[in-house]
Amino acid sequence: MDQLNGLLFYSWEELPFVFLALVVGFTVHEFAHAYTAYKFGDPTPKNMGRVTLNPRYHLSLFGTIMIFLIGFGWPKGVLIDRRNFKNPRLMDIIVTAAGPVSNLIIAFIGLLLVFLFQAFDLKDSISGGSAQAILLFLGLLIQLNMMLFIFNLIPLPPLDGYGIVKNFLPLRTQLKISQYEQWGIYVFLLIVFLPPLKKVTIYPLYSLSNSILKGMNDLLAVFFGFSILPSY
């Protein structure tokens, strides 16, 4: 078991909770893309069975395994045909942003549930093991969805941030940079795995994630009269 833990990014005990948190985060993220595109007039996601909250239509086996091994992964992307939108540029921005925004909302809901857990003293009404499991799951739900929110806003293909930024560029510039999109994933991998690059790119994103989380905590603390941020 210790040897297995050495191969995994998360501990063996955390794996079931990581998987559940990923199922929620990945499924809602891709559903948000698909549902928004469908509502804006593109039938492509609907025709491909992606306008659903059934995880099996959204999870990528390899992308999910990579989360366990190296700490980040990916679901199956949703195919969108922006030519079906009445306002292709604006609606494509909204559809693209819907995925990361859904992860931010999940993280906020997870934090809200932790506040409710503390406010109603649920630790005293259930067994210690159950309370610990619930809080571990909620903590991972918050952590992973904040990670999905932040990482997906990086302006590198095939991440959502690239799709958003690209729509703000002139058409000529879009066509020019499209020639280099296939290199985006390699640049992203270099950023993730090379410590010097990671220090000036990924680490600041972690700081931004913490700042956003602190802001949500402070907002909820106004209503509940206490803060739970030191727990995370």
d(C-alpha 166, C-alpha 96), whole Å: 11
d(C-alpha 51, C-alpha 58), whole Å: 10
Q: Which two tokens stand for residue 228?
A: 């739970």
d(C-alpha 226, C-alpha 23), whole Å: 30
CB 44 within 8 A of CB 37: yes
CB 90 within 8 A of CB 139: no
Residue type, 58: H
Catalytic residue among 13, 14, 30, 181: 30
Non-local (6+) Cβ contacts of 86 within 8 A are: 40, 41
Does residue 13 carry a catalytic annotation?
no
CB 94 within 8 A of CB 102: no
Which residues does the annotation mark as catalytic? 30
